[in-house]
Structure 1
Amino acid sequence: MLVTEFAFELPKGYVDPAGDLHRTGTMRLATAADEIYPLKDPRVRNWPAYLIIVLLSRVVTKLGSVAEVNPGVIEGLFSEDLAFLQDLYNRMNGLTPRTIVTLCPHCEKSHEVEVELLGGS
């Protein structure tokens, strides 16, 4: 069975307008539509850095007792929490580089090497 949703706990947490803290949530795997439709959003067209805000608002399905996770909620996250969710998104969707630890045959020191995915990167 394919797991499509993953639970998470934010390092700091989202503080809603009432002052309540929300740290736990779930994120689902992204679809092609999740990555394509935000490109039509005028906020993204005018400010490409806003893409991650719209994208995360589509895939974060639950955040504590917040009624709806929308771009405004994602905007309200602390920077550490935004970075955490970006990293989680990349890992869940297989977007992080694949690395292995290898031993150099010349100097015999170990180091990480990025391995190209099958079919190219």
Structure 2
Amino acid sequence: MHQTSALRTAVGPARSEDGGLRTEFDFELPVGYIDDRGTVHRKGAMRLATARDELGPLVDQRVRENPSYLGIVLLSLVIVRLGTLPAVYPEIVESLFVQDLAHLQDLYAQINGLAAPASCPSCGTAVNGSGGDRLGES
């Protein structure tokens, strides 16, 4: 999948300007979540995932019935802000447009060190090393 320059610049270094650990990353959705009132929410922030974030959803009944739902639950845990919404729940994440979901999955992989850089073996051109994998897919 093509990686946008906005996504690459949003991630930046793991350290903040003052030398501390950077744990939150701002993002802007390509389309945006539309709430019940018609308000479009595009800007938000995602935090680094913890081991608890990765393990906790495994006991969720929705994930047990459909392992692909893991990515939805996981994103709802690490998105700390989306527009003016008071909180982000799995139902909100599952209502996102596919383009926005892919954007958040790519960001999650990048900030948590899951997207390995890769290059074409024949020409050396840099490519997205995620292999198209999405959260919750095996």
Q: TM tier, shorter chain?
A: 0.7 to 0.9
Distance 1:46 1:110 in 2: 42
Distance 2:112 2:97 in 1: 23
Instruction: Provide structure 1 residue ranges, at least 5 long, that are not aligned to the other structure.
Output: 115-121
Deviation string 1:54-94 (CA, Å, 9 cap, x unpaired) is: 00000000000011100011011000000000000000000
Q: What is the match of residue 110 of structure 1?
A: 124
Instruction: Provide structure 2 residue ranges, at least 5 long, that are not aligned to the other structure.
Output: 1-19, 130-138
Distance 2:31 2:64 in 1: 30
**TM-score, normalised on structure 1?**
0.83
Aligned to 2:46, the other structure's residue is in SS state strand
**TM-score, normalised on structure 2?**
0.74
Is 2:84 the partner of 1:70?
no
Percent identity among equivalent residues?
Answer: 52
Alpha carbons of structure 1 residues 100 and 23: separation in structure 2 relative to 1, 3 Å: same
Identify the match of residue 54 of structure 2 among 6, 26, 35: 35
Q: What is the match of residue 22 of structure 1?
A: 41
Deviation string 1:23-61 (CA, Å, 9 cap, x unpaired) is: 000000000000000011000000011000000000000
Alpha carbons of structure 1 residues 98 and 110: separation in structure 2 relative to 1, 3 Å: closer
Q: What is the match of residue 54 of structure 1?
A: 73
Could you say what the CA RMSD is over the residues aligned between the two structures, in angstroms? 1.8
Give the number of equivalent residue pairs. Answer: 109
Q: What is the match of residue 89 of structure 1?
A: 108
User: Of the two, which has the highest radius of gyration?
Assistant: 1
Indicate the structure with greater strand content: 1
